[in-house]
């Protein structure tokens, strides 16, 4: 499903993206995020699968990314719709799926950013709606404006908040500091080197901050210990 060159999967597909299906040339969000979540940012033969997230991230490349106002107070929510041919709207399940994929690729900053965008419209009870656009509340032109809490959106919001990769449920990606698909002495060493630092200080290593509290401490060291020996 991976297209590393202009003619990889026919003349209609972009470069460095996952296509949706054989003979299906749609460019969609979750094929990019799920591809990285299931396979990682680097393929078994050196494929740069993480470039699919770069395709999603940069609007000028014509991806599914866009911004929509949720209401008069919450404006310019930055996220993703399902596929490039759709009208503009924000799909919350897909947006937090992209956040999870950035975490899987080791890009905490972008993961935090898109997870935070979804959090801006989360319900007080913790639920997350399905989709919205700027045409107002209610069911308008399903699925582009469906402002009702959704199982999938809520689940992906939880997954990305906890560092859970549902494609590898027994593997804690945040405990793998060097992202080599194994939690071992090398990860323990990297936490040890950064131990006691806070975000912005010399020696800071954001990948070792598993609970994302801006400090590398005994809790992060314990996370490696609890997951020691696990592999992808």
Using a pLDDT cut of 70, give the percent of the chain over it.
Answer: 89
| 34, pLDDT greater than 60 | yes
The H or E element containing residue 224 is helix 218-227
The CATH architecture one would assign to domain 173-227 is: Orthogonal Bundle (1.10)
Tokens coding 181: 């698909």
Integer-rounded Cα radius of gyration of the chain = 18
- pLDDT given for residue 105 in this prediction: 87
What are the structural domain ranges in the chain? Answer: 2-162, 173-227
Residue recorded with tokens 């930055």 = 78
Which is more confident, 50 or 207? 50
| 204, pLDDT greater than 70 | yes
Cα–Cα dist 154/128, whole Å: 5
β-partners of residue 83 are 28
| 31, pLDDT greater than 60 | yes
Write out pLDDT tens, residues 81-109: 999 989 899 999 999 999 999 988 888 88
| 7, pLDDT greater than 80 | no
Tell me what the mean pLDDT of segment 200-215 comes to. Answer: 85
Collapsing DSSP to helix, strand or coil, 213 comes out as: coil
For residues 11 and 23, the answer to whether their CB atoms sit within 8 Å is no
Residue 51 has φ and ψ, to the nearest 5°, of -65, -20
Write out pLDDT tens, residues 143-154: 788 999 999 999
Which is more confident, 198 or 13? 198
Using a pLDDT cut of 90, give the percent of the chain over it.
Answer: 50
**Alpha-carbon distance values, 226 to 37, 47, 229 (Å):** 22, 31, 9
Q: Which long-range contacts (CB under 8 A, 24 or more apart) does 198-206 make?
A: 205/177, 206/108, 206/109
- pLDDT given for residue 3 in this prediction: 79
Tokens coding 52: 């699919």
Tell me what the mean pLDDT of segment 42-62 comes to. Answer: 85
- pLDDT given for residue 100 in this prediction: 93
The H or E element containing residue 98 is helix 92-104
């Amino acid at each position: 499903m991976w297209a590393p060159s202009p003619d990889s999967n026919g003349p209609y597909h972009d470069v460095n993206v996952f296509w949706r299906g054989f003979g299906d040339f749609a460019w969609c969000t979750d094929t990019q995020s799920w591809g990285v979540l299931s396979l990682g940012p680097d393929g078994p033969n050196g494929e740069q699968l993480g470039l699919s997230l770069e395709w999603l991230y940069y609007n000028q490349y014509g991806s599914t990314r866009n911004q929509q106002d949720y209401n008069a107070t919450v404006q310019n929510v930055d996220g993703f719709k399902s596929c490039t041919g759709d009208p503009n709207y924000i799909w919350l399940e897909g947006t937090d799926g992209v956040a999870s994929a950035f975490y899987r690729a080791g890009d905490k900053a972008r993961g935090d950013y898109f997870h935070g965008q979804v959090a801006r419209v989360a319900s007080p009870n913790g639920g997350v709606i399905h989709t919205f656009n700027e045409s107002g509340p209610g069911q308008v032109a399903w699925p582009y404006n469906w402002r009702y809490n959704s199982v999938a959106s809520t689940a992906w919001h939880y997954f990305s908040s906890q560092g859970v990769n549902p494609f590898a449920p027994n593997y804690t990606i945040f405990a793998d500091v060097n992202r080599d698909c194994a939690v071992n002495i090398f990860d323990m060493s990297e936490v040890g080197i950064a131990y006691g630092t806070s975000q912005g200080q010399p020696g800071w290593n954001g990948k070792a901050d598993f609970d994302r509290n801006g400090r590398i401490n005994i809790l992060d060291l314990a996370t490696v210990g609890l997951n020691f020996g696990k592999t992808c």
